[in-house]
Amino acid sequence: MIEPTVTMPPERVRRAPVRRPEPPRERVRFPVLAVVFVCAACGLVYELELVALASYLIGDSVTQASVVLSVMVFAMGVGSLLAKRLRCRAAVGFGLVEAGLALIGGCSAMVLYAAFAWLGESRYVLVAFSLAIGVLIGAEIPLLMALIQRGERSGRSGRKASLGEEDDAAGTVADLFAADYVGALVGGLAFPFLLLPWLGQLTGALVTGAVNAVAGGGLVLWVFRRDLTARSRALLVAVNVSVLAVLATATVLVDDFEQAARRAVYGERVRVAVQTGLQEVVLTGDRQEPPDLFLDGRLRVSGQDEYRYHEALVHPAMNGAHARVLIVGGGDGMAAREALRYRGVRSVTVVELDPGVVRLARTDPALATLNGQAFRDPRVRVVHADAFHWLRGATDRLQERYDVVISDLPDPGITPSTKLYSEEFYGLVAQLLTPTGRFAVHAGSVTDRPRTYWTVDSTLRAAGFATRPYSAAGRAPGFAAGPDQSLINKTQPTRRTPITECR
């Protein structure tokens, strides 16, 4: 018996849901590495900005660099641990981290300067910014790794990773760290050679923050937009626009801010404020009175009583043969003025690192009057060079030796000048002196910093000099200008102590 053919209804074929194709890995990896490069450069700029500004405001660059670096590295470890809590929302977390880093890092220099100018204390602000920036920098790489790994897992659709894929993941980590280190190199070089000379400390930090915000926000909002909900996307757009608006407004107002802060630091009588390639030079005072000269926020010349220091520094060393005089430092011209009072002086060589200081001492009417137009004297020759390197080359180049060498340098406690208080430097000076030559050294205050004072004395004796310490009363030099400057002007004169060294 033939069974009738039963026709079954056709089965409905279920089609798999159409999924949006994941972006190719190489298309994701390149922008991620580019942003890591940019963010690393920006992070190092923030770090160097804090070190440079803290050294200028507080002094002792070694201590400030140690504080910033150690606190920031510690905070980076904390940030890496805290980033674990954001792994489930890595995309929005990374966007918010970069926006916060751009705002805090970009405004750090202005806030630090404001704290110094109006509060008189910036150490705690320095530590707070180092902590905040370090935490945010430390969270960057873990969040990016979470984003990349999520994309790779979605591409594998739940299957176990093969050995080759695990090796490729290790390669991704290597690429991220390579981009991070190279970006740090570029940022470290861009700060002293591009940002600082072209934009200055405050504007340079603000521009760096804007670049940071654009790079971080652009990566998340474009490359990882699939990982964002509509609410998260709107949040990131609003936050990044707000950050850029704040940075742009601060950039527009930065000149007015600097003028206001400078008035708070130096008083209302700022006559000249210039940024040379090496330091900030500020001249204060009325045109009818002797000016005060500040270098990087520290008093270098007090117009009212500078003669006490320069006379005490120069005249004892001139007791004897003094035909040829060498002045190390002294770009303000005051030491040269005192040396030129002696008729027997045939030549005065001034070795000054910063041409801007000498230019101001020549052209500013009040300062030129104070130094007696010393740089217009034909017997004066100015050499713009690092004194240590110039002396090293001069020992073989010069035919005649000097009868008198005068070291008119910043306080030995200021780190950049410490090599000019070393035994090696004093040994070079000894080679340039005649057998009866004299060497005068400013050694700081014996009352305020006795350890520094006697260290200079022992260093000179170790170099072969017979020392004769003495002191002179006068206004304290080298203090950092601040809102309490008017109080310092009213205090009793403190002791500024040169040392005369006789062979």
**Structure confidence at residue 493 (pLDDT):** 32
What residue ranges of the chain have pLDDT lower than 50? 1, 17-20, 22, 155-158, 160-161, 163-164, 167, 478-498
**Structure confidence at residue 373 (pLDDT):** 95
Encoding tokens for residue 81?
């641990």
Phi and psi torsions of 350, nearest 5°: -110, 120
Asked if 408 is an active-site residue, the reply is yes
- In the chain, the amino acid numbered 330 is G
**Structure confidence at residue 479 (pLDDT):** 47
Encoding tokens for residue 296?
């990087």
Q: In what order do the strands lie in the sheet with 270-275?
A: 270-275, 280-284, 292-295, 298-301
**Structure confidence at residue 273 (pLDDT):** 86
Provide the strand spans (E) within 40-142: none
175/179 Cα distance (integer angstroms): 6
Helices (H), 157-276: 163-190, 196-218, 230-266
Phi and psi torsions of 52, nearest 5°: -65, -45
Encoding tokens for residue 156?
């594998």
Q: Which candidate, 195, 266, 245, 185, places its Cα nearest to that of 53?
A: 195
357/410 Cα distance (integer angstroms): 13
In total, the chain counts a number of residues equal to 503
**Given 408, 411, 448, 457, the catalytic residue:** 408
Q: Which residues pair with 501 in a beta bridge?
A: 439, 467
Q: Which residues pair with 270 in a beta bridge?
A: 284
> Which stretch of DSSP H or E encloses residue 352?
strand 347-352
**Structure confidence at residue 197 (pLDDT):** 84
**Structure confidence at residue 341 (pLDDT):** 95
**Structure confidence at residue 180 (pLDDT):** 92
**Structure confidence at residue 491 (pLDDT):** 30
Q: Which residues pair with 274 in a beta bridge?
A: 281
Cβ burial 126-165 (10 Å sphere, 16+ → b, else e)? bbbbbbbbbbbbbbbbbbbbbbbebbbeeeeeeeeeeeee
- In the chain, the amino acid numbered 166 is E
8 A C-beta contact, residue 187 and residue 43:
yes
Please give the radius of gyration of the chain, using alpha carbons only, rounded to the nearest integer: 32
